């Protein structure tokens, strides 16, 4: 395992409610890598993402994510592991009754931020990083387009300078132009050193932005292709 390795899974088995959901999974991902995760619904993609952020425990095998061992991950360590991960999931949507700023604040307070000046400057910085003007922070989610809302979700995921971003269908609800913009943003984030794992059914994106592809089937990784265009 090199010091650039941020995720390292060796022969892991994971069960949920007594049923195996992942078996014999081996996976190594380095800092700044961009990886597409594909496979049909029920193939194990979501289980793999849940395992990486400590929602599902591994039964056998060895796994480390950002320096945390998944095998005997203690309940008290899960919040610290998650600070190193940015999560852009369809079901982690924005709180619709709060401004953009309050959406970001919600996560920051939950992860230990308490200095108002630092909070304010990080919010402006992270909105700028995802291509939004900081004055959008006073708006409510419904006042933004779908693409802008997804940029806010990515900004929220970036707040704690994560080492890995886990994105589950981040372009699933977006029109083609917005999808392309969000893909470009996630690729830019990976080039700055944050690994990005993106689960997707959108094969147009995979064709348009060739990258490493991991395919799940029946709880196993059946293909790991380096589809580079350099």
Asked if pLDDT for residue 75 goes beyond 50, the answer is yes
State residue 121's pLDDT score: 97
Question: Domain for residue 158, yes or no?
Answer: yes
Q: Starting at the edge strand that comes first in sequence, how are the strands of the sheet with 212-217 ordered?
A: 85-89, 164-168, 195-199, 34-38, 212-217, 220-226
Q: Let me know: does 44 contact 37? Beta carbons within 8 Å.
A: no
Q: What is the mean pLDDT of the chain?
A: 91
E strands, 17-163, where?
Answer: 19-30, 34-38, 58-65, 68-69, 85-89
In a domain, 168, yes or no: yes
In a domain, 200, yes or no: yes
Instruction: Render pLDDT for 99-122 as a digit per residue (tens, 0 to 9).
Output: 999 999 998 998 889 999 999 999
Q: pLDDT tens, 23-44?
A: 999 999 999 999 999 999 889 9
The answer to whether residue 92 is domain-embedded is yes
Q: 154 lies in a domain?
A: yes
Cβ burial of 76 (10 Å; 0-12, 13-18, 19+) is exposed
* Residue 80 banded pLDDT, cuts 50, 70, 90: confident
Q: How far apart are CA 107 and CA 124, in angstroms?
A: 15
The per-residue pLDDT for 173 is 84
Reported as a single tens digit per residue, the pLDDT across 176-215 is: 999 999 999 999 999 999 999 999 988 889 999 999 999 9
CATH number of the domain that residue 108 is part of: 3.40.50.300
Treating both helix axes as pointing N-terminal to C-terminal, what angle do 146-158 and 116-129 enclose, rounded to 10 degrees? 130
Query: Mean pLDDT, to the nearest integer, of 50-72?
Result: 92
Mean pLDDT of 70-76: 87
- Give a yes or no: residue 194 inside a domain: yes
Using one digit for the tens of pLDDT, what is the confidence trace for 179-189? 999 999 999 99
Q: How many domains does the chain have?
A: 1
Buried b (16+ CB within 10 A) or exposed e, 131-162: bbebebbeeebeebeebbbbbbbbbbbbbbeb
- Asked, for residue 109, whether it belongs to a domain, the answer is yes
Domain with 39, as residue range(s), is 34-44+79-226
Within a domain: 64 = no
Task: Give me the pLDDT at residue 229, please.
Answer: 47
């Amino acid at each position: 395992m090199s010091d650039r390795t941020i995720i390292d899974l060796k022969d892991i088995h994971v069960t949920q409610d007594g049923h195996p959901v992942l078996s014999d999974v081996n996976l190594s991902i380095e800092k700044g890598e961009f990886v597409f995760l594909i496979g049909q619904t029920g193939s194990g993609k979501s289980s793999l993402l849940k395992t990486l952020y400590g929602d599902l425990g591994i039964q056998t095998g060895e796994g480390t994510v950002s320096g945390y061992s998944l095998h005997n991950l203690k309940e008290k360590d899960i919040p610290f592991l998650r600070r190193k991960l940015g999560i852009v999931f369809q079901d982690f949507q924005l709180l619709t009754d709060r401004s953009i700023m309050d959406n970001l604040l919600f996560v920051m307070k939950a992860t230990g931020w308490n200095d108002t000046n630092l909070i304010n400057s990080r919010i402006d910085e992270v909105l700028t990083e995802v291509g939004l003007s900081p004055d959008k922070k006073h708006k409510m989610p419904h006042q933004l387009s779908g693409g802008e809302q997804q940029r806010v979700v990515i900004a929220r995921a970036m707040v704690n300078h994560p080492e890995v971003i886990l994105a589950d269908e981040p372009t699933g609800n977006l029109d083609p132009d917005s999808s392309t913009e969000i893909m470009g943003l996630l690729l830019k984030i990976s080039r700055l050193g944050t690994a990005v794992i993106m689960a997707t059914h959108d094969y147009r994106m995979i064709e348009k932005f060739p990258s490493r592809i991991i395919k799940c089937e029946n709880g196993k990784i059946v293909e790991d292709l380096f589809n580079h265009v350099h």
